[in-house]
Structures are given as C-alpha cells and as structure tokens.
Amino acid sequence: MSRELRGPNEKLGAVLALAGISNAGLARRVNDLGAQRGLTLRYDKTSVARWVSKGMVPQGAAPHLIAAAIGQKLGRPVPLHEIGLADADPAPEVGLAFPRDVGQAVRSATELYRLDLAGRRAGTGGIWQSLAGSFAVSAYATPASRWLITPADSSVAREAHSLEGSGAPLKVGHSDVQKLREAAEDARRWDSKYGGGDWRSSMVPECLRVEAAPLLLGAYSDEVGRALFGASAELTRLAGWMAFDTGQQEAAQRYYIQALRLARAAADVPLGGYVLASMSLQATYRGFGDEGVDLAQAALERNRGLATARTMSFFRLVEARAHARANDAQAAGAALKAAESWLERAREGDNDPSWLGFYSYDRFAADAAECYRDLKAPRQVRRFTEQALSQPTEEFVRSHGLRLVVSAVAELESGNLDAACEQGVRAVEVAGRISSARTTEYVKDLLHRLEPYGDEPRVVELRERARPLLMVAPA
C-alpha cells in the first residue's frame, strides 16, 4: 500500500545517490530488514522508482526501514525528513535523546517505557518492527561526550507543583526505590539463567512502565531522587541488555542511552561507566571495535579514583574485547593484563556495587578467551576457556553455553574436530534450555566454521542436534 505525494521525491533520490544505493539495492535492503522483524515485503526496483519519481509514500514500517537501510550505508541515523518522508506514519526517534535538563530527561525515559509496552501488547513487535535494523553506533557519540563532560546533575529534586496530570502528587520514598532495586536483582538472576527472551525477563519493560515511570514523575527530595534515578538506570540498562541478548539492537541502544542519562542524574559515576561498558560490548559485537574502545575508555576515564578494583578490572576487560575485535593484539594484551592486575587487587570487603555480582575470575577468563578467539590464538583460547568452564553453571547458564561454543572454536582451529563437535553438542544442549539470540548466533558461527567438514559423521550429528534450535527464533 502507498499514497501519492505532489511530484517527485527529490530528497530521496539525492540521498540514494549520496549513499551509492541503486533502486534494486534499496529494495533488497528494505526487504531484508523487514524479514528480520517477521515482515514479508516484496519491494523491487520498480517500487523504489515510484517512490522517487512519482512521490509514492509506502505505508506501515516501510518508510522507517528505508531510512534504516540508507543509514546503515551512510553509517549514521537518517531522519525521515531528510528523505522526504516526514509525513509518513510517525515512529518517533524515541530514546535517542540525551537531554541536558533533568525534567526533559525524565520525559525522554518515560516516553520510551510507554512506547515499548505498546508494541508488546500489540503482539507484533510494535515500534521495534518500525525501527528494524536502525542501530547506528554514531548515536552513542553525544551521550558519551555529555556524560564525560558532566557525569552528575547539580540537583534532581522534584516538587509537587511540577507534576504532570491531575490528582494528588505521588510522593516517593526510599521504600519505593528499594522495590525497584529488588526487581532489578530478580531480573538479573532470571536473565543469567534463562536468557533475555525468557518471559520472566520480559517483565522488566512492564516494571519500567508501571512502577518506575510514575515514580520518576512523582515528587521527591534530592536524596531520594538520586537513589530513584540510580535504581531506574539499573532497570533500564537491564532492559537494554535483554534486548541486546534477543537481537533487538535498536531497542537496546535506546535503553542504554536513557540508562546513561539516568545514571548521570543519580550522580552514580560507576553505574554510568557500567552502562558505557554495555554500550561498548554492543558496539564490539556489531563489529565496531574502534568505537567500542572509545566507549570502554570513557567508562575508565571518569572512574579513576572512584570505582572499586573489581569494577575497574571489568572496564579494562571490556576495553580488551574491543581492541581484540579491532585486531590490535598489543593493545588487547595490555588491557587484559591491566584487568587481571585490578582483579588481583580486589578484596572481599570492597564496596562493590550489587550489579557487579556476576564478575569473578571465571568471567575474566571467559572474556579473555573470546579476545584470543578474535585474535586467532587457539592455544590461549583453550587455556582460558578451561579455567572459565571449571566453575559451577547453575546460575549463569547462558554464559556457560557461550563458553562452550568458544571452546569448540578453539578446538577446531587447533585441528581437534572430535573435541570441537563434542563441545558443540554440549553448547547446543545448553542453548536449547534458554532464550538467547546471541547464544544461537554463536552456535550458527560454529556451524559455519564446520562447513568444510560437512560430511564428517560428528559434524552431521551436531548439525542435526542444532536444527530445532536454529528453526525457532528466540522470543
């Protein structure tokens, strides 16, 4: 379906020329982005020609997919007005702003919370279908720089007269904040054990909308407000992490940006660093190693002299992951050495934040193994993976599955096909018990690496075991 504009869409034609995308190429990109969200689109070069020469405006998610497709090629977000489609059905660029004003920051976050739930209730992915594939690492530049310049707001107290809507103002106390912190702790456990797509994990956006949003719009003192913003930032970062784990990269990006803004309002610099580390991991996972380094180093820079030794160790580990993805072996090795040194300084009585409870030497070893996998050093991968797999797995099931895949890749690159398949079978068994697109992608990567050995009985067996997993997309 489409409707007609007045005359040719010269803006769209100009941007396509700038991006170097042909009509057929744009149609293919839009169809592919739609398929990622379960949409069956059949646009072709003739469709694109009509959009450009006759000013036809495609309906539904298509205008936003067009912007996303062009944005991927240009390496930056492309707003609808730039391509002459500003009057298409609106899908606000919600969650990408990093407002300087605290009141505007509250509105930006609560708008994101409301919009996400609307999509879930519709049962179609809602706004996230419209924003399919619109992740752009450049969107992190302004939030990171503003946080580095000013990592804490001067005051966040909110008076009753500033409340929106009618009725008695909601007065927020420490007990309200504690409920959010408990919700975050429960969500962290479920996520580690069952994956970001588990139905229990999906209750986090509901909690943000129903519990956190009314509190943020309530009345509170500066002290209570700082605590409230910190708890909300933790939950928002978790929502981003879960979206990242289920392959909703565009949703994750928006949650991360709002989490960083809330951490700034909380004056919680280590928590802001943790959000930046999460952004770095996403950028690295998406193949933007250099930008991942920048984000990890931003977390480190502001936390010197503030964060605990264990926290600094984690930030250096995330930096090492990004260096390895950027194929800088020397920098990755230096960051790993620093991470291990910081971890050795950590003591039992340190005032580590609760959100860092997952981080210990086995997590360090697991990420070190992934660094060396990216650097194609299988001997080091095997050494660190053996250490990582020596720990209990009841609480961190997803992490265990990822480590098994990394171990299988190391065995394969060392020429041990049987051992690689054995670890692969164990990884598939774990992946089948959780809902994690990221784990499934790791398994797919392993199967791709095994393609040259496709006729080997062990490889055939592994492929058959993995078939049900690959046929069912995580929730």
Beta strands per DSSP E along 108-209: none
So what's the pLDDT on residue 348? 87
The backbone torsions φ and ψ at residue 173, rounded to the nearest 5 degrees and listed phi first, read -125, 180
Q: What would the pLDDT profile of 420-461 be if each residue is shown by its tens digit?
A: 999 999 999 988 888 888 889 999 999 999 999 988 999 999
So what's the pLDDT on residue 3? 55
Q: How many angstroms separate the CA atoms of 89 and 93, rounded? A: 13
For residues 348 and 385, the answer to whether their CB atoms sit within 8 Å is: no
Q: How many angstroms separate the CA atoms of 53 and 13, rounded? A: 8
- DSSP string over 299-311: HHHHHTTTS-HHH
β-pair partners for 158: 220
354 burial type by CB count under 10 A (0-12 exposed, 13-18 middle, 19+ buried): exposed
The backbone torsions φ and ψ at residue 351, rounded to the nearest 5 degrees and listed phi first, read -85, 65
State whether residue 221 is helix, strand or coil. Answer: coil
Q: How many angstroms separate the CA atoms of 270 and 263, rounded? A: 9
Q: What six digits make up the tokens of 257?
A: 């940006």
So what's the pLDDT on residue 4? 53
Q: Mind listing the domains of the chain with CATH numbers?
A: 2-83 (1.10.260), 102-371 (1.25.40.10), 372-475 (no CATH)
So what's the pLDDT on residue 150? 93
Q: What six digits make up the tokens of 146?
A: 């503003």
Q: How many angstroms separate the CA atoms of 292 and 468, rounded? A: 33
Average pLDDT per 10 consecutive residues for the chain, totaling 475 residues: 67 92 93 68 90 83 83 82 73 80 94 65 44 73 95 89 55 96 89 64 84 94 97 96 88 95 98 98 95 97 95 98 97 98 94 93 94 93 89 75 90 92 92 85 93 92 90 52
So what's the pLDDT on residue 474? 43
So what's the pLDDT on residue 123? 37
So what's the pLDDT on residue 94? 80
